[in-house]
Structure 1
């Protein structure tokens, strides 16, 4: 890992809000492509998923999701439950930011995509007792839309449409259908 990226990770944990945000944006931008240093930060990011600071948990989850494309050892297959746990964070904004990035794990490969889809389908079906479950469902469907756009696989779209068809509230069913228009 080059010194600039190391510095960005340090800045993303620093006290200055603007500096943290800029570093966060830079790390996300860099990790949108494959990098050769994913394992230099992997274990620390796993640890940060349970950090006392919710911002650290959120950033760690988003960075790990982005780094899945650089995970040649497929560690994410074992570590995904830890990442998924942050999507249930006590701070809803942390949970939501983590959930909204989870689709990026799915673009790392077929096994990763299938795993992410499985988790999301299960949550969509069984998550109605969660607070803000309509927003969570919206995020899940948007993740599926992102995966569909990436892979152009009709089965992803069909899975989402099948889930939408199970929604009893017409208002939300319409809202969710609009994601796939």
Structure 2
């Protein structure tokens, strides 16, 4: 009996080691800089109350499309409908908490970069997250709101804008 228990325990350990290797995704391409940029933007928006920015001007790499993923986005559903391998995003914090957003950058129908952004640096949860942006349309504004996180920090809402700085309300446009 004890021998069976030890064999089962060892098999479980080896299985978990293999699974943890498979799940050990990280964005090793060094785009932690983008999170630092968003931290700086959020500080400026807290001072200025509103701040317009373009994702294209913030990134140092080439991309065709960016997908904004908000908390609890059904990544498997998006993967099936877009035919883009998004498996590394299954293990990001957006699957388990409301405190993060993910910006997924795509080039030639392949996920090339992603960054997990703390909602403290801007909350993108203003609408359905299945909208893709190309570099010319990935324009946003960060607005200081009256709402606060449980920590007491004010919430910064990030919403899409057109080239003139006008808010694009996708819900009303459909």
Higher relative contact order (CA 8 A, sep 6+): 2
Greater share of residues in strand: 2
> Is TM-score (shorter-chain normalized) higher than 0.5?
no
Q: In which range does the TM-score fall when normalised by the shorter chain?
A: under 0.3
Greater share of residues in helix: 1
TM-score (ref. length: structure 1): 0.25
Q: Greater CA radius of gyration, 1 or 2?
A: 2
